[in-house]
Structure 1
Amino acid sequence: MASCMRLCYNMCDFKDVPGQEEMKRQLEMSVRRNHLSHSYLLLGAKGVGKLTMARAFAKRLLCTGEGPRPCGRCHSCIQIAADTHPDVVTIQRDKTALGVDAVREQLAQEIRIRPFSGERRIFIVPEAEKMTQQAQNAILKTIEEPPDYAMILLLAEQEEALLPTIRSRVLRLVFRPVPEAEILKRLRAAGAPPERAEEAARFSRGIYRRAEELVQVEEVYSRYRKTLELLRELPGCDETVFQRTEAEVASLYAEPAGFLEFLRLYYRDVLCCKSSGNSAALIFPGEEQTLIRAAKALSYEQLGVILKEIETAEERLRLNVSKELTIELLLLAIRRE
C-alpha cells in the first residue's frame, strides 16, 4: 500500500487541508480585506491539519503569481512547498520541550530581521503548548510588540497549557473534526481499497492524518489489527497470555497515549453494543461479534470501571508515573473485569 500511495504532509494549499471550510473562508476574506492579525493560535487535535493550514496561509500571503492565489508556480510558492522560503520560519524544539533559548534564537532575535523577498515574515510554532514558561514569557514580549511585517502562528492541541496573557493576545482558529464522508472520499480518491478506506475513516474520528496513515503505512495498519487481537484475548486470560499481551503492547506503542485512545474507542463500541445494539455507529464494524460478546459479558458497572481506569492511567502518565507500571495496572484491571 505504501508503495502505491504517498503521504502528503508537505503539501500546503488550502485544498490540501481536509474540512475546515469556514476557517479557510475566514482566512481568505481577511487576506482580501487586509484585516490580518499579527498573532494566531491554531487549536486542534494532533493530525487534524494545523501545520498544513499554517503553511497554506503563509503560501497565500506570500504568493507573487498572477490570478488566483496561491498560484503554486511562482518562486515563493515553490520555496514554501519545499520548506526553503527564507521568510517562513518554523521553530524547532528539543525532544521534550521548547525552551527559552530556542525561542530567543529562532524567533525573538530572528523576527528583528526584515523580510528577504516579500512584505512579511511568518513564524510557525508547532506544539506551542510544549513551550516552557520562560519560553512563553519570551514569546509574549514579541507578541505584544511585533514588527509591522511579522506574523506568528502558534499551533497547539491544548489551549490551557498557554499563559492567559498569550491567549488574550492572539486570534483563535479552532479546528473541527473532519466529516467521515469527506475523509472517505479523499481516501478513495487517493487509491485506497474501499474496505480499508471505510475502516480507516471510522477509526479516524475526524482526524484525517490518522485515517491516511492507517491506509498508507503498513506498520500502522499492522499495529491496529494486532491491538484488536490483543483486546480479544485479554479479558480473563491466564498469566502466560497476560505477560505476552503486556510485552506486545510495550513493543507496539512507544508512547502509551495512542494505546489509551485505542482502548477508549474500543470500549466505547462495547458500551454502544450494550446500550443500543446499533452496529452502524461502531468505530470497529468488523469486530461486531467480538464487541457483542464483550457487551454481554460486562455489566454497565464493569464498563464504567474500565473507562475510569483508562482515565486513571492518563492521569498517572501526566504525573510521570512509569509507563510500564501504568500500562500493567490498566491491563490488570481489564483482565480482572
Structure 2
Amino acid sequence: MSDSAQQAAAASDLKQVTRATRLKELALKNLFLTCACVAVLAVILIFVFTFWKAIPVITDIGLGEFFGLTWAPTEGRYGILALLAGSGIVTVGSLAIGVPLAVGCAVFLTEIAGKRLAGIVSTAVDLLAGVPSVVYGFFGLVILRPLVAGLTGGLGFGALTVWLVLAIMIVPTITTLTMDALRSIPMGIREASFAMGATRWQTIYKVVLPAAKMGIVNAVVLGMGRAIGETMAVLMVVGNAPVIPGGIASPLSTITSQIALDMGYSSGLHRSALFGMGVVLFIISASLVGLVRAIAAPRPRTAPSSPAASTSTTPRRLPSTRRPRRSPQTTSRPSPAPSPRPARGAVLASSACSPRAPRAAATRTARTTSCSACSAPPAS
C-alpha cells in the first residue's frame, strides 16, 4: 500500500469534532471563567461593603483618635492601638512557639521517619487542621488556663495561654506547606551531600533546609495570617481587656476578639469603629498575601549592560603550568664534529669498561683482551 493510501485511510479513521462537543467545551470554559470572576468579585464586594460602613471613622471619629490608645465606647473613645498591640503580641508569641514545632515535624516526616510512622504522624497533623476553633478554645479554657494560673499565680487568662493555643492551631498549616517545600528539593542534592561525607543531620541543616528556605518562609507567613485572623479560640482565653498588657499572664484583647465581643450590641459610631477594625484586618491580610507572592515570585536574571560588566563577571582563567612546546628548530642541537674511528681493539675495550654496554659483549671482550684504558685485569 502506498503512502498516500495509508494517509487517506488514517484520515478516514479520524472523527470530526461535532457541534455538540464544541458547545460543551465552550460552556465549561464560561463556567470556569464565571467561578474565577465570582471569587474576585466577592473579595471586591467585601472590601467595598466594609469600607463603606467604616466611612464615619474618617469623617466623624478621625484617624488620629481612631489609632489612639484608649478603647472606651461608652465614653466615646475608639482608639484601637491597644488592640493592635494585643494582636501583634499574640501573633509573634504563637509563631515563636509554633514555627520550630511545625518545621521540626515536617523535617521528621520527610527526612527521618519511615513510611509507616510518617503515615501515622501525618494523619494526626491533618486531623489537627480539621478540629474546629471552638474546640481549641475549650481545650485552652479547661486544660491550659488552670496550668498557666498555677504557674503564674493569676487567673490564667492572658498572652501565654493564647500562645499555646494558637501554636497548636498553626502547626498543621506550617507543617503541610513546609513538607511540600522539602519534598520539592531534588534527591540528587542529598546524595551529593552524602557523597561528600556529610552525615544526615549535616545534610538536613546545611543543605536541605537552606535550599527550601523560600517555601518555609511562605509557610510561616501563611501561618501568621491564620494566627492574626483567629477569633473564637482567642476570645475564650485572652481575657478581653482592651489595654496594653503588663506581662504574659495579664489579660489583653485583640482586634478579632473585640469585634466578636462588641458586634452584638454596638450601634452608631461604635459599630462604625468595629467596621474600621475590619478594614484594618483586611489590609493586614492582603499585605501578608502580597508578601507571600513577592517572596515566591521568580526573580529574572539581569544580563550585563556593558562589555566591562560582562568581562568583570567572567571568571578569570588561571595561567597554565604546562611548559610551551618548542619547535624542532629551537630544540635542535649542533651536530658534533666527526671524530676519527678508533681501532677495533680499542672499541672492544671501551665497550667492556662502559656500564651501558651489554653484559655479553663485555664478557666476550674481557675474555679475549685486557683493558688498556683502565688497566684492569681480564675477567675470568
Is this a same-fold pair by TM over 0.5?
A: no
**Normalising by the residue count of structure 1, what TM-score does the alignment of the two structures yield?**
0.25
Structure having the higher helix fraction is 2
Larger radius of gyration: 2
Structure having the higher strand fraction is 1
